[in-house]
Amino acid sequence: MSQAVGINFKKSSIDALIAGFLALILFGPIVGVLLDGYKFDFEFDRVAWIVAIVAVGRFAVSSFFQTEKGVAMAFRYANNNEGATVLAPNHKSKMVWIIPLVIAVGLLIPFVASKYVLTVVILGLIYVLLGLGLNIVVGLAGLLDLGFVGFYAIGAYGLALGYENLGLGFWSMLPIAAILAAVAGAILGFPVLRMHGDYLAIVTLGFGEIIRLVLTNWASFTHGPNGISAPLPTLFGLEFKRRSRDGETFHEFFNLPYDSAYKYMFIYIVLFAVVWAVLFIKHRLVKMPIGRAWEALREDEIACRSLGLNHVLVKLSAFMLGASTGGLAGVFFATYQGFINPSSFTFFESALILAIVVLGGMGSTLGVVIAAFFLTVLPEMLREFAEYRVLMFGILMVVMMIWKPRGIVRVTRTGFAPRKGAVK
């Protein structure tokens, strides 16, 4: 890249001419010929505009890629197959500035956004939780889990059934559901510890389906396909309903007119806090011995065993912590929907969560957050193309795997400043 960078306008002009000619062939018949009953009219000016726009655009792009910046960019995108990078020991993350900004914006959202936008953002945050949970299992520990939706279902049904049978509300079920899901993770984890890769994926896929089928068919307990209603969260005993059978409601206590958006605002704020807590714990875990052990297990299980790591416990801990995060997400999903049935927990959900992890970059926290929002908010924005959503989703995955097989955000590793060595 040391050679003098001059823009070769001849090359740009040729590129522009070829692009313009191709646009003429493509758009000429489509745009230029307009049917009018049994005859047709030629619309030359429309074609001319389109061809001109394409040619000028191509000229601009071609020129840009001959400048220094453009060459650097092309170089960067041509070499995207590299793995992780190690940061310098004194690296200062830009996150120090970005995180407070995101928190401030996030806290403003419920007061400025409409109810619809708020529900979409809540759904996005639920998928962030799911993505973070699966990221521990797939991204860090390298155990391909296709049944993650099972833990999500356990969390959601835990809230609904706990309320119905034991009278437990949102706040008591939040930790209990996490523990329940972790126990389910251990039950799943134990028999599959000796499996890797494809075999593990098939067994976990079966686990997810078992949970869904039990929920569908055990009608006397779960109400089967009819579904079951889930309670709303309460603020120190104040309910977010229009009228309360026992005690006061939120709007009565604060002398406000009733608005159904209040409950979403409250769910949003609680969820926002929980997501940040999980992000913080996740951030710490990666740097802790347990996080290192997960990653080492992903890299080489035999070497792990030769270093005294109990691979059984390392795998189980990954399954359990991942599952408990999925359980938390399930509780929020149930309380936000107010009603759940087994059709919310199909294999497609598992595939979507896995797509979030793969798209975001295995093991990258930031990538998972971005991908979770992208994959939940985008379908909402493309409501008109609802039938093509899965098709678009597939194309996106293929394109990503070709251009950025390591995910959106590249994994970075902490650098350590050299110091004086010592052994006791």
Residues that bind other proteins (CB under 8 A): 83-84, 86, 88-89, 280-281, 284-285, 287-290, 292-293, 295-296, 299-300, 302-313, 411, 413-416, 418-424
Give strand pairing partners of 35: 40
278 token code pair: 């999980």
Give the nearest distance from C-beta 298 to other proteins in angstroms.
Answer: 8
161 token code pair: 């059934």
Give the nearest distance from C-beta 269 to other proteins in angstroms.
Answer: 23
Task: Pick between residue 122 and residue 293 the one whose CB is nearest to other proteins.
Answer: 293
Distant-in-sequence, close-in-space partners of 345: CB < 8 Å, separation ≥ 6: 149, 150, 152, 153, 156, 208, 211, 212, 215
Distant-in-sequence, close-in-space partners of 354: CB < 8 Å, separation ≥ 6: 134, 138, 145, 146, 148
Give the nearest distance from C-beta 181 to other proteins in angstroms.
Answer: 17
d(CA 255, CA 353): 42
Gap between the terminal Cα atoms of the chain: 51
Give the nearest distance from C-beta 373 to other proteins in angstroms.
Answer: 25
Task: Pick between residue 84 and residue 203 the one whose CB is nearest to other proteins.
Answer: 84
Give the nearest distance from C-beta 87 to other proteins in angstroms.
Answer: 8
Residue with tokens 């008109």: 384
Task: Pick between residue 117 and residue 290 the one whose CB is nearest to other proteins.
Answer: 290
Pick the closest to residue 304 from 293, 315, 320 (CA basis). 293
337 token code pair: 């929907």
Distant-in-sequence, close-in-space partners of 312: CB < 8 Å, separation ≥ 6: 193
Task: Pick between residue 273 and residue 307 the one whose CB is nearest to other proteins.
Answer: 307
d(CA 357, CA 352): 9
Give the nearest distance from C-beta 313 to other proteins in angstroms.
Answer: 8
Task: Pick between residue 161 and residue 409 the one whose CB is nearest to other proteins.
Answer: 409
DSSP readout, 35-69? EETTEEEE-HHHHHHHHHHHHHHHHHHHHHTTSHH
Give the nearest distance from C-beta 82 to other proteins in angstroms.
Answer: 10
d(CA 41, CA 33): 6
Residue 412's H or E segment, with its range, is strand 412-413
Give the nearest distance from C-beta 417 to other proteins in angstroms.
Answer: 9
Pick the closest to residue 374 from 401, 347, 356 (CA basis). 356
Give the nearest distance from C-beta 140 to other proteins in angstroms.
Answer: 11
d(CA 278, CA 161): 25
d(CA 337, CA 222): 17
Task: Pick between residue 251 and residue 410 the one whose CB is nearest to other proteins.
Answer: 410
Give the nearest distance from C-beta 409 to other proteins in angstroms.
Answer: 15
Task: Pick between residue 168 and residue 296 the one whose CB is nearest to other proteins.
Answer: 296
Strands 228-229 and 39-42, bridge-based pairing: unpaired
Task: Pick between residue 92 and residue 419 the one whose CB is nearest to other proteins.
Answer: 419
Task: Pick between residue 130 and residue 285 the one whose CB is nearest to other proteins.
Answer: 285
Task: Pick between residue 71 and residue 309 the one whose CB is nearest to other proteins.
Answer: 309
Q: How many CB atoms lie within 10 A of CB 328?
A: 28
